[in-house]
Structure 1
Amino acid sequence: MADTLSVGINLDAFAHAINAIQQLRSSVTRVFDSLKDGMKNKETLEGREKAFISDFQENLHAVNRDLNELERLSNLVGRPSESHPLHNSGLLSLDPVQDKTPLYSQLLQAYKWSNKLQYHAGLASSLLNQQSLKRSAMQMGVSAKRRPKVQPTTLALPPQYVDDVIARIDRMFPDMSIHLSRPNGSSAVLLLDIWSKSSYQVFQKVTDHATTALLHYQLPQMPDVVVRSFMTWLRSYIKLFQAPCQRCGKFLQDGLPPTWRDFRTLEAFHDTCRQ
Structure 2
Amino acid sequence: MMTATRTQQEIEQDVANIDRTLSTISETRSSLQHFIRTIKKNPNGPTYIHQFSEGLNKIKRDLNRQSVEVENLKVALEYAQQVAQVNAFDWPAIKEIMNKETTNNEGQVDTQVETKKETGNTVKTEVDRLYSELSSIVLEKHQTGSSKDHDNVPIDFITSHFSQWMNSNKHQHHHISGKFLEQEQSITTGSTCCLQISVHKVLTATMDLEYHYPSDSLIIHRYEIKGPKENKPFWKESKYNVFQKITLIAARAFEDMTLLSAREALLGLLDWLSSYHHLFTAPCHRCQKRLQYDSPQYKHLPPVIRTWVQRKNATDIPITSTTVTTPLSSPTKNEPTTDHQGITGLPYHIRCFNTTV
State the TM bucket, normalised to the shorter chain. 0.3 to 0.5
Q: Which TM-score applies when normalising by structure 2?
A: 0.32
Greater strand content = 2
So what's the TM-score if we normalise by structure 1? 0.40
**Structure ranking higher on relative contact order (CA contacts 8 Å, 6+ apart):** 1
Higher normalized helix content (fraction of residues): 1
